[in-house]
Chains A and B, each alone.
Chain A
Amino acid sequence: MREEINEMIIETRGLRKYYWLGREKVAALDGVNLGVEAGEFVSIVGPSGSGKSTLLNVLGCLDAPTGGAVFLDGEQVDYKNKRSLVALRRKVVGFVFQTFNLLPTLNAVENVVYPMIFNTREKKKGEGRGKRRGEGRSESRSESRSERRAKARRLLERVGLGSRVEHLPSELSGGEQQRIAVARALANDPKIILADEPTGNLDSRTGAKILELLKRLNDEEGKTVVMVTHDLESAKRTGKVVEILDGRISDGRLDGRLDGRLDGRLDGRLQ
């Protein structure tokens, strides 16, 4: 069972992100204050261009904000420090994309091993010296090549893809591919999973299963999940829904319209 820690694992303060489209300034994020507790499953909803994907990219350290602060796992993200961004992407967050984004030349296991390759180095700094595997979350880095593969197989099993691990993505269905992508996101034992429309390219039944999988990871392993979605049906099933409109977290004006479908879950922490 998931332990209840009332600690903000994600926090943004006055987050702003401006783009220039020609001479026009576009505010993708315009002062977002968001807090996500460790172990929460949050979905971010909003129309296209509302800034929800931008928010996810900023949280995932892929994009730098124009202003404001982001705290991940208790520490402020320094978007100017490339090295620390890489470290955060490696250890703290795991990405799941709408279009799966698997490497076509690699089979399922290899796709899951892929991010581990980038994360082998720091082990030398003596952090994971003792063979204390399993329990310590981010310390359990795979040691050898075969161990990495074994871990990838375990992860694939966990996402329900135990049998077709040697297949190339092109030989698998969309749902299966997305399962591989979820396993890949878990490769380096991140605390946070950022999912950008993970069900967007799937039919509703398959999409529901992927959502089920993410919920299970959230429930059973305490992974914090932040999911961007169009699909209110999906959003309804997550612990918390955040609505973004014009780069701001909606103050609930849409509550009425969404109310019936969202089951009143837009909660009070939103501003």
Chain B
Amino acid sequence: MTAMKDLFALACRQLGRKKLRVFLIVLGIAIGVAAVIGVTSLGEGIRVQAVEQIKASHDLTTVAVSAGVEQGTGSVTLITDSKLAAIEAEKHVLFVAPFVKDAFVTQNNTYLAVTGVSPDYRRVQGHGLELAEGRWFDEGEGEGSNEVVLGYGVAKRLALVEGLEVGDEFAVKIRLYGEYGGGTGGEGQGQEGQGWGGHPKDKPAVFKIVGRLKSSADEHDNQVFVAIARAKELDEKEAYDGVFVKVDDPAFAGSVRARVEGLGLSAHSAQDVIDEVNRLMLAVTVVLGFFSGISLVVGALMVVNTMIISVYERTKEIGLSKALGASDSDILKMFLAECVIIGVLGGILGDLLGLSFAWLIDAVGKPFLVSALCGGGGAGGGGELGLGAGLQAGSITAVTPEILAVGFAFSLVLSVVSGLYPARRAARLNPLDALRQI
């Protein structure tokens, strides 16, 4: 339409006639938009922080595999050697690191959680497993390899409670649960928690402590590590308790995971946690955004009100326009053009205000949030995700171009939709009646 420019020029002129009113209405919408932008950017900022934390502390190229339980039938698919070989054969899989979980009980009835690991396991965990003292155990099988490496916490505890240091030997009972302990070593099938009427069976052994680890600040601190072959031998299991699958690129973690699940096993990666965080934060942001969006409704009502008043004021003008050849849709467009301008102004101002809201939240809200998150935990606090520590470093609001674009679109759509009813009312006026109005 060639007259579009004229239409907008005209609309600008009309709005210019009542600058204060237009300013107030634009401000009303802008504040609504800014509230939504502020809240959304806060949600987005916290989400980004959390995800960054996860990425920093988790290896995204690792897929954790465990035995699969089929829904409904409850039948269990165990991680056998053949499954392991199948996983290893998958594309993009660098190596697999299986592990076996066991339990030892010392003479003094101290319970020790044991993990049988391969050298690859240490590569997967990377920085988490570093020796503080001593050496790793021999990988060889057989009776000679009754060597263990203690996690940071376990080492401390054993030193304190039982006076055991690196180089010492100690006797344990290996606690065997379920029918795996029956000595058959055969099928490797069945349900956990059953067999022998629920009584665990203990098997005596003597281990030598050959090393202890630095703190990894995770569950490995509380583990006793033993060579995986030895562990399997000791607990007479055929299957592994879990496998870490190392992928060459984080991008393929998902597809590898899917193929592992195709084998009937269950698999997880840090991406799951990230997805979870994303889902949670999205829900939180949407809910918060919805409530802050109520202020937008107020803005919309303002537009409706102002435009209705405007239609009343300009009834005669509308009648005149019709007498001069304006069609209903011309009148409709004239009013909607004004709404478009209001929406655009509201969007721009709303984005600017939103940016300053976000800045304000960062400046004022962050210290508050950080102290709230870190307060309970003292020096080592900050929650499980270490969010508090991350917050101190980064910004808690993230105003993305998408958020700004959505804020702008909100303003525009809202004011046009709000203007629809008044504009239709104007368009339907009878020209003669309108012209006669004083």
Interface residues of A (CB under 8 A from B): 57, 60, 62-63, 82-83, 86, 89-91, 95, 101, 103, 105-106, 113-121, 123, 143-145, 148, 184, 187-188
Contacts and interface: CB of A to CB of B under 8 A. Distances in A.
Contact of A60 (B6, B317, B323): B323
B435 A118 contact: no
B17 A117 contact: no
A117 B3 contact: yes
Contacts of B5: 145
Interface of B: 1-3, 5-7, 10, 13-14, 16-17, 316-317, 320-328, 330, 431-432, 435
B6 A101 contact: no
Nearest to A121: B1
B324 A120 contact: no
23 contacts: A57-B432, A62-B323, A63-B432, A86-B322, A86-B326, A90-B325, A91-B325, A105-B16, A105-B17, A115-B324, A115-B326, A116-B3, A117-B7, A117-B330, A118-B324, A118-B326, A119-B325, A120-B2, A123-B2, A144-B2, A145-B6, A184-B324, A187-B324
Contacts of B6: 113, 117, 145, 148
CB-based closest 9 A-B pairs: A90-B325, A115-B324, A86-B327, A120-B3, A117-B3, A117-B6, A62-B432, A118-B325, A89-B325
With most chain A CB atoms within 10 A of its CB, the pick from B5, B316, B321, B327 is B327
A101 B437 CA distance: 12
Contacts of A103: 317, 320
Contacts of A144: 2
A188 B325 contact: yes
Contact of B14 (A82, A91, A105, A123): A105
Nearest to B323: A95
A114 B326 CA distance: 10
Nearest to A103: B317
B22 to A, nearest CB: 14
A118 B325 CA distance: 6
B436 to A, nearest CB: 10
Contacts of A86: 322, 325-328
A115 B328 contact: no
Contacts of B10: 106, 114, 117
A115 B432 contact: no
B432 A114 contact: no
B13 A89 contact: no
A187 B326 CA distance: 13
With most chain B CB atoms within 10 A of its CB, the pick from A89, A115, A117 is A117
B13 A115 contact: no
Contacts of A90: 325
A143 B13 CA distance: 22
Contacts of B322: 62, 86, 89
Given A63-B432, A89-B322, A103-B317, A118 B3 contact: yes
Nearest to A101: B320
A116 B10 CA distance: 13
B3 A83 contact: no
Contacts of A106: 10, 13
A114 B14 CA distance: 13
Nearest to B16: A105
With most chain B CB atoms within 10 A of its CB, the pick from A62, A83, A120 is A62
A96 B320 CA distance: 11
Contacts of B7: 117
Contacts of B321: 114, 118
A90 B329 CA distance: 14
B224 to A, nearest CB: 85
